[in-house]
Structure 1
């Protein structure tokens, strides 16, 4: 299975501009620039897209891992913060910090944390990143009406 995206860049690094597109059409000639990547100018950048991919991949992997163990989440909400910094002459993505809020019925926190850590280590985006990946969990066991514990 292949998924494709493309980038077009015109000009030099500081004053040039680019466009990002994806085969799905989610991105279609979406502008990006040095200022959207390294400054505070509104717009997207590769790190933001990696953060979105990591949050989405991890959350989906966690839902799948929970299902394999017989659990279904009421809600999994993940944010990812990707940090880019200087690395010698260039730049490097040094970390991706996942922050998860979870509501899952009928599972103890220890079991949930073990499943979440495994999903963090094994989702495809985690595997491709050569960065430190951390996971902060805010876990709440859901209580369904009529459930006995």
Structure 2
């Protein structure tokens, strides 16, 4: 008893197809290449955004809270040594509220907003890269 599967089942198991030759195969190869490139691009953007988003959030929140903490320490040190109070007031006045780097204006609120924006970009990149992976 020879237990060979029918021809159409054997072709599916082996992977031979009659339509895999010619312009259709070239079109499928180009389509797969384009989906692969888009998968790479969006996955790369997602990885960069996931790396930078928490960093920007932490920097922005820390920069926002730091003047308040130093101000609270300065006011609680009113009973302290006048020389120590002067040093704390000097430190509190040296913390900038904004930085101008080239044509970019950085503030704590802008860093926090950029962190949330990068989280949204990471989510969009994950969605599009999953769609690209599904279509490859």
For CA contacts below 8 A with separation 6 or more, give which structure has more relative contact order: 2
Larger Rg: 2
Could you tell me the TM-score, scaled by structure 2's length?
0.27
Structure with greater proportional strand content: 1
Could you tell me the TM-score, scaled by structure 1's length?
0.25
